Every structure is written in structure tokens, then in C-alpha cells.
Chain A
């Protein structure tokens, strides 16, 4: 039910995508990203920022649903990260997430990674 955020290091030694995303903190989510779970991601983003890591890739490959609250937290994360010097947010989106971004006209707001690695 709940989206789970797991921090994992990018395996840059073995994957092309990993090399491209070297230096980014990775947050991997699973399950629905909705009003019920979005606060968890917001808290994780704040936590990452407090630890001085403004370059983040959010892996949404295992996300099974995205409502307006989930989308809002992604936009908020983008705003918070880009406000930092050198800040970056990259989304690794699946079909569900891509459809939601397109439907809401927000896809252009995000940098997307389509690499199969990581």
C-alpha cells in the first residue's frame, strides 16, 4: 500500500546509466505515490537536502499509481532541489508515471532518465 523509499548507491561501475547518474543520491519508490504516501517522499527529500545532497534521482519504476498529491510532491521536490547550488532532480519514470506527467502537462518540468541500468 505504502510507497517505500530506499536509498541505494548507483552502480556506476557496471551500468551505462549508472555512470551517467554518478554523484546523484538515489531514492527508489515502490507502490502508489498518493496523498497517503507522498509525505514520506517529501520528508526524504528534505532529509537528503539537510545532508547536503541536492543532486537526486527518484526511481519511480516500481510506482503503481500517482495522484495529484504524488505529483505535487515531485514538483515540490524539483523546486526545493533546483533552489540549491548545483541541485538536480532526475526522474526514472515508468509508463504509469509518464502518462500522469503527460496528462497533467508537467512532463516538461522534469528531467527524465530512461536508462535501464542503475
Chain B
């Protein structure tokens, strides 16, 4: 699978003290800074806090979080619904060191296995985690998973036009801007454009070949969306 063979600088040593009391769920993929694991019922406590974060709501506008809060009314049954959804895989992002709780969720949704495409959503809940590139790595790991395990050949992502950080993260992972959905998003006050990004299998492979080692990230770059 796509697990990194050699744990990076942030990865705990086999014999050293663990940063977390116990590793919950099943680890699906490991990077140098974060790893992805399956959801467990206890994660609903974290989701309950995250759905109340107005910053997350504005920046991500996640249907996943929205559904948990407004459709399922934070019911524990939401966990089962995720577990039995044949169109998505939702994984929890854990950092190796310095965090006492998960740093977010990354998921592939609207998965079309026969056609080989899906949508990507990365939800990072801590600004420190964003600046350390955890979201970039988490998205990269689940993209590899989608390609290697699910057999996907194309991923898509939508970003609000004001979410420059996410756009730059996608570009760092090899995504290309493919278009703009004009005024397709609403944040409760006004309409915003949604920028569409996509990546194909060979482009994901190119990123994997390129990124044998993850380097510290530069400050935010670029000016958001490209002219169309």
C-alpha cells in the first residue's frame, strides 16, 4: 500500500515514549508527519466540537460536518452511516507528536468505483497543523490510497475562492485548477465562486516520485485562483 517505509522526523520511535496513550482505529497510511486511521465512535466527540467552529464552516463548508450537525443532529448513528456508506472513505488525521487529539478528517466522497473518480475533502481543525503542512500530507496520503486501493484515476476538489491556503495546498499536491463555478457557494451572507481542482492518476504518481522527502513549507504563496 502507500505507507511510507521509513517514519520521518515526527514519527515516534518503536521503543520511545508514545505521544498518545493508545492508537485508536486501524492505521491505513503513514506519512512523515501524520498518519491516517479509520474512524472510531469516540471521534464523534471531536466532530461535535469541530461542527461548532465558525472558521471551519466558512473555510471548508463541509457537507460531512454539516450532515453530522444538521441532518443527524449529532446522533451516534452518524458513525454507522459513515461506516456503511459505499460512496465514501473518511479517515481521521493524527499527528505523530505535539497533539493530544486528532487534527482533522480527510475523506474521499462521491466515489464512483466503476468510473474511477471521486471528490477529495480535507478538514484541518487547527491552524498550527495547517501551517505545518499536515493537510497537504494527509491529502497526499489519501490520494495514494484512492489510487492504489480503490483504483481511482481522477480526484476532484472544490474550494471557496477566498480559501487561498487550500488552493495552494492542492497545487502543492499536483492538482490543477480546472474551472470556476460562479457564485456557487453561500456563506450565509453572500455568494462566492467555487474553484474546481482536479488531478489524474499519472499526475499523482508524479507527485509521489517527486516527494520522497517532505521539506518544510514556505510561507503562503501565490494569489489564490488563477485567471480564467
Contact yes or no, A76 B89, CB < 8 A = no
Q: Name the contact of B84 in the complex, choosing from A39, A66, A76, A106 (C-beta under 8 A).
A: A66
How many A-B contacts at CB < 8 Å in the complex? Answer: 69
Q: Name the contact of A68 in the complex, choosing from B25, B26, B80, B113 (C-beta under 8 A).
A: B113
What is the CA–CA distance of A104 and B108 in the complex, to the nearest angstrom? 14
What is the CA–CA distance of A68 and B113 in the complex, to the nearest angstrom? 8
What is the CA–CA distance of A76 and B150 in the complex, to the nearest angstrom? 9
Q: Is B86 an interface residue (CB 8 A)?
A: yes
Render A56-98 as a binary contact track against B, CB cut-off 8 A, 1 for contact. Answer: 0000000011111111100110000000000000000000100
Contact yes or no, A36 B25, CB < 8 A = yes
Bin chain A's interface residue count: 20 to 34
Q: Is B38 an interface residue (CB 8 A)?
A: yes
Bin chain B's interface residue count: 20 to 34
CB neighbours (8 Å) of A109 from chain B are 114
CB neighbours (8 Å) of B86 from chain A are 66-68, 70-71, 100-101, 103-104
What is the CA–CA distance of A72 and B149 in the complex, to the nearest angstrom? 7
Contact yes or no, B111 A68, CB < 8 A = yes
Known: A35-B91, A36-B38, A72-B151. A67 touches B113 (CB 8 A): no
CB neighbours (8 Å) of A66 from chain B are 84, 86
> Which of B26, B83, B85, B86 has the largest count of A CB atoms less than 10 A from its CB?
B86
Q: Is B28 an interface residue (CB 8 A)?
A: yes
Q: Which 7 A-B pairs have the closest CB atoms?
A: A65-B84, A36-B26, A100-B86, A68-B111, A36-B38, A72-B150, A65-B83
